[in-house]
Amino acid sequence: MGVFSGHWPSESELDKLRQKVAEMSGRDAQEVRVVVSPYRICPLGAHIDHQGGTVSAMTINRGILLGFVPSNDTQVTLQSGQFKGEVRFRVDEVQLPKHISEINGLNEQIDSSKPQEECKWGNYARGAIYALQNKGNHLKTGITGFICGSEGLDSSGLSSSAAVGVAYLLAFESANGLVVCPTENIEYDRLIENEYLGLKNGILDQSAILLSSYGCLTCMNCKTIKHKLIRPPEVQNNHGELGNAYKILLAFSGLKQALTTNPGYNRRVAECQEAAKLLLQASGNEEVEPVLSNVEPDVFEAHKSKLEPDLAKRAEHYFSENERVLKGLEAWASGNLKEFGELITASGLSSIQNYECGCEPLIQLYEILLKAPGVLGARFSGAGFRGCCLAFVDADRAEEAAIFVKNEYRKLQPELASHINQGPAVLVCDAGDCARVF
């Protein structure tokens, strides 16, 4: 199967999930609660969230499903549709970040009897407990649950890790009767990723997953943590509304690598911070936190010649991308999809030239998307060190574009394309909603 679209979650997916949890727990399927935690895309705002930039995002109608029932005690029992083994622990166990566990020799002590694969996927659930404990929540009720991604979909580059973290947070909160607002859960998921797992990413992913609203573009200032939803106007054409005028195309490369094991991502973050530090020193503001959002654009223009070429490129990407986001929000609000798409494409080019991410297969995929019929704009999805590319495409030409991209990519990368055998090579989807519990 090469191209796919449709509703999510389907009734059959929900029924299968409820039945699976009922079998695991011995409870009635009607008792099973379901967390829907969507994947996100970032049309504009690539690689600037960790520097306090302004970003845009929306969810898609695919993501993580977590079916669960509250336990009668503190026990957590989890199974996965993607990974083998069973994760078991208690919600009242003290969870330590991975680097502390390793320093103390606890990792080996705790996990030596378990398959390595189980240990890795179980870390997100443990991380959710760590985050909740860290903020003073006393958990008394565990869950029996089954977690899975959208059927037949490679989630690389769609913030699947944040979607998983959010899903576990919502499940544990629901089971324990905790009322937690979305902005608190953004912080909780940041603790999972930054502190527990050691990934130096920003808060874009979890913010999009928790704050999005169907058909809107979520705009977030990652320095002030303030967000707003940009609602689209009606479009003066045959489609009537913006949501009916476009589809989102996701094209998968066949590349897989977790961000936590790829040094390129964290290295770029460090380079941005070094550029900020030097620019702040040059302007007499060295006491300020070294992130690029603390550097005024005119300071960058005045002192960029003092930066090494690589650092100058990282800063150039930050300032130009921040500007593209602001222009993109105006284009979206006015219903100008053509300009919005052009800004997305420019973002993709800057990610390649200035941020210098994207290996040959991803760049080829990006270039193929730009040639596809009806495509308005394209860029990498996710960090650009793995995964997929996204495009906005005219709704009437989405299926035609998807077939074109699938066929052209297979010609250039037959081996990688052959790895995409568990699901579609190209996915046609719609905008989604925020994470929620059924």
| Mean pLDDT to the nearest integer, 359-380 | 95
Q: Is 154 a catalytic residue?
A: no
Same domain, yes or no: 130 and 241: no
Taking the C-alpha atoms of residue 347 and residue 322, their distance in angstroms, rounded to an integer, is 10
Q: What is the CATH number of the domain that holds 128?
A: 3.30.230.10
Q: Which alpha helices (H) appear in 286-437, and where do they start and end?
A: 297-303, 309-333, 337-353, 360-371, 398-412, 414-419
Taking the C-alpha atoms of residue 298 and residue 306, their distance in angstroms, rounded to an integer, is 14
Write down the pLDDT at residue 103. 42
Look at residue 291 and tell me if it is in a domain: no
Residue 322: how many CB atoms within 10 A of its CB? 20
Write down the pLDDT at residue 158. 65
Q: Quick check: 90 and 160 in contact, CB under 8 A?
A: no
Write down the pLDDT at residue 331. 96
Look at residue 289 and tell me if it is in a domain: no
Spell out the residues 6+ positions from residue 174 whose beta carbon is closer than 8 angstroms to its own. Answer: 33, 35, 68, 70, 437
Spell out the residues 6+ positions from residue 256 whose beta carbon is closer than 8 angstroms to its own. Answer: 154, 156, 386, 387
pLDDT of 157-168, one tens digit each? 566 889 999 999
End of a domain among 186, 212, 229? 229
Half-sphere exposure of 144 (CA within 13 A, CB side): 19
With a cut of 60, say whether residue 302 has pLDDT above it.
yes
Taking the C-alpha atoms of residue 370 and residue 360, their distance in angstroms, rounded to an integer, is 16
Look at residue 202 and tell me if it is in a domain: yes
Query: Environment class of residue 80 by beta-carbon count within 10 Å: exposed (0-12), middle (13-18) or buried (19+)?
Result: buried
Q: Which pLDDT band holds residue 101 (cuts at 50, 70, 90)? A: low
With a cut of 70, say whether residue 21 has pLDDT above it.
yes
What would you measure as the largest C-alpha separation in the chain, in angstroms? 67
Same domain, yes or no: 216 and 246: no
Q: Which pLDDT band holds residue 25 (cuts at 50, 70, 90)? A: very high
pLDDT of 174-186, one tens digit each? 999 999 999 999 9
Look at residue 298 and tell me if it is in a domain: no
Look at residue 106 and tell me if it is in a domain: no
Taking the C-alpha atoms of residue 209 and residue 166, their distance in angstroms, rounded to an integer, is 8
Q: Which pLDDT band holds residue 203 (cuts at 50, 70, 90)? A: confident
Q: Which of 193, 164, 168 is nearest to 178 (CA)?
A: 168
Specify the pTM.
0.84
Bigger pLDDT: 205 vs 278: 278
Same domain, yes or no: 239 and 225: no
CA 69 to chain centre: 26
Look at residue 161 and tell me if it is in a domain: yes
With a cut of 80, say whether residue 153 has pLDDT above it.
no
Same domain, yes or no: 49 and 69: yes
Same domain, yes or no: 172 and 251: no
Bigger pLDDT: 3 vs 278: 278
Bigger pLDDT: 420 vs 129: 129
Q: Would strands 246-255 and 387-394 be described as parallel, antiparallel, or unpaired? A: antiparallel
Same domain, yes or no: 344 and 402: yes
Q: Which of 132, 217, 146 is nearest to 177 (CA)?
A: 132
Residue 150: how many CB atoms within 10 A of its CB? 26
Write down the pLDDT at residue 116. 44
Bigger pLDDT: 128 vs 257: 128
Q: Which pLDDT band holds residue 107 (cuts at 50, 70, 90)? A: very low
Q: Quick check: 209 and 435 in contact, CB under 8 A?
A: yes
End of a domain among 178, 208, 229? 229
pLDDT above 90 coverage of the chain, percent = 70
Q: Which residues pair with 255 in a beta bridge?
A: 387
Write down the pLDDT at residue 307. 97
DSSP annotation of 431 reads: B
Same domain, yes or no: 161 and 249: no
Write down the pLDDT at residue 108. 34
pLDDT of 211-241, one tens digit each? 999 889 999 998 988 889 998 876 444 445 5
- For residue 358 the two structure tokens come to 């994207």
With a cut of 80, say whether residue 334 has pLDDT above it.
yes
Same domain, yes or no: 169 and 221: yes
Taking the C-alpha atoms of residue 378 and residue 351, their distance in angstroms, rounded to an integer, is 12
Write down the pLDDT at residue 117. 46
Look at residue 294 and tell me if it is in a domain: no
Q: Which helix (H) or strand (E) holds 219?
A: strand 217-221
Catalytic residue selected from 189, 205, 394, 430:
205
Residue 244: how many CB atoms within 10 A of its CB? 15
Mean pLDDT estimate for the chain? 87
How many domains does the chain contain in total? Answer: 2
Q: Which pLDDT band holds residue 254 (cuts at 50, 70, 90)? A: confident
pLDDT of 50-78, one tens digit each? 999 999 999 999 999 999 999 999 999 99
| Mean pLDDT to the nearest integer, 2-19 | 79
Write down the pLDDT at residue 142. 98
Highest mean pLDDT among 248-252, 319-323, 424-428: 319-323
Same domain, yes or no: 95 and 54: yes
DSSP annotation of 256 reads: -
Taking the C-alpha atoms of residue 88 and residue 370, their distance in angstroms, rounded to an integer, is 46
Backbone angles phi, psi at 60, to 5 degrees: -115, 170
Long-range pairs of 315-320 with CB within 8 A, sequence gap ≥ 24: 315/272, 315/275, 315/276, 315/279, 316/350, 316/354, 317/46, 317/47, 317/48, 317/350, 317/351, 317/354, 317/355, 318/47, 318/48, 318/51, 318/53, 318/272, 318/292, 319/292, 320/350, 320/354
Long-range pairs of 88-91 with CB within 8 A, sequence gap ≥ 24: 89/122, 89/125, 89/126, 89/129, 90/142, 91/129, 91/139, 91/140, 91/141, 91/142, 91/172, 91/176
Q: Residue 72's domain spans which residues? A: 11-101+120-229
